[in-house]
Amino acid sequence: MRSARKRGVGIKARPKNESAQPSRSRPSSKLSSLQHSSIPSLHSSNSSDWEARYQAKDMPWEKGAPSPGLVDFLAAHPDLPRGTVCVPGCGTGHDVRAWAGAGFKAFGYDIAPSAIRLARKRTQAAGLAARFDLADFLREAAPVRFDWIFEHTLFCAIQPNERDDYVRAVLRWLKPRGQYLAVNYLIPDKDGPPFGTTRGELWKRFSPHFELVQEWVPRTYPNRKGLELMLWWRRRGKTRNPNAKIRKKSKARIRK
Ligand SMILES: C[S@@+](CC[C@H](N)C(=O)[O-])C[C@H]1O[C@@H](n2cnc3c(N)ncnc32)[C@H](O)[C@@H]1O
């Protein structure tokens, strides 16, 4: 399979025919790009990487519209109770505005201040009510717990070694029995962002904590056709706690 970079998909390179923002600085090589090259940590997502990309208008993920899969999902489910929804890594807020437009109480969070600034400006211009705040979804406590979390190109944007933190964050920010709707990006790339994943990996990570409600291949942007898989999960009543065994063992040791 050709790599995502060659297909011009995703975060690394902007397809030639895409009406994206003008780019003042375009990564010319892997080392000059913002793929964590000049950044101290190679192992965690860094707010300054992302902020620099927004400031340089180097945002190939920015499609100027919400995820088509989300748009279709909301149109197909007009009767869902209108609860709260969190969109982590919301970028400039297209998906948050889609949820808000459908009547949900929508909240967007991003690690890059420029993303939050743009999201607020565009939401106000659109006359919609949604809230945007600066937050590191992986590391911060949830401001409140949400009925829904919507994932779209954050999982593939973080470092693969942060994926355990990502699952823990979803569990921290979501209410018990809350729903996790994800547009997953199934590419093979190991040199991201974007970093690829497989259905198998997603199943392994999420099925211990969630029941699968539905899965399908969504309509998507022209250059991501066939590369996305939507998974709609509902959080289990009782989820396996990865720390439970450790606690039991240490209690047993204390009793001895
Ligand atoms: C590839 S972009 C996708 C943006 C948006 N979801 C979209 O599809 O247009 C990834 C976004 O995640 C944000 N991000 C990266 N790490 C994050 C973290 N730990 N917490 C919150 N946002 C993060 C980046 O600043 C960036 O806006």
CB 9 within 8 A of CB 17: no
Which atom of ligand 1 sits closest to the CA of residue 92?
Answer: 9
Location of structure tokens 């340089």: 56
Query: What pLDDT does 239 receive?
Result: 53
CB 20 within 8 A of CB 8: no
According to DSSP, residue 235 is labeled E
Span between the terminal Cα atoms of the chain, in Å: 57
168 confidence band (pLDDT: 50, 70, 90): very high
Which atom of ligand 1 sits closest to the CA of residue 109?
Answer: 21
CB 37 within 8 A of CB 31: yes
Contact residues for 143 (Cβ-Cβ < 8 A; gap 6+):
133, 135
Here the CATH number for the domain that contains residue 8 is 3.40.50.150
pLDDT in tens, 208-234: 999 999 999 999 999 999 999 999 999
Please provide the average confidence, as pLDDT, over all residues in the chain. 82
CA angle (173 as vertex; 155, 40 as ends), nearest 5: 45
Query: What pLDDT does 195 receive?
Result: 96
pLDDT in tens, 106-118: 999 999 999 999 9
How far is CA 231 from its chain centroid?
13
State in Å: Cα 136 to ligand 1 middle: 10
Q: In what order do the strands lie in the sheet with 228-235?
A: 131-134, 105-110, 84-88, 146-152, 174-185, 228-235, 210-216
State in Å: Cα 84 to ligand 1 middle: 20
24 confidence band (pLDDT: 50, 70, 90): very low
Nearest Cα neighbor of 146 from 161, 133, 165, 163 is: 133
Name the closest-CA residue to atom 18, ligand 1.
136
Which atom of ligand 1 sits closest to the CA of residue 193?
Answer: 1
Query: What pLDDT does 11 receive?
Result: 56
Question: Is beta strand 174-185 parallel, antiparallel or unpaired with respect to 146-152?
Answer: parallel
Q: Tell me, yes or no, if the pTM score tops 0.85.
A: no
Tokens of 108: 């967007």
Please compute, for residue 4, the number of CA atoms within 13 A of its CA located in the half-sphere on the CB side: 27
Number of domains in the chain: 1
State in Å: Cα 2 to ligand 1 middle: 25
CA dist 162 and 149 (Å) reads: 18
Query: Which phi and psi (to 5°) does residue 236 adopt?
Result: -70, 150
Query: Which phi and psi (to 5°) does residue 175 adopt?
Result: -70, 155
Lowest mean pLDDT among 5-14, 52-61, 73-82, 138-147: 5-14
Domain span at 27: 4-255
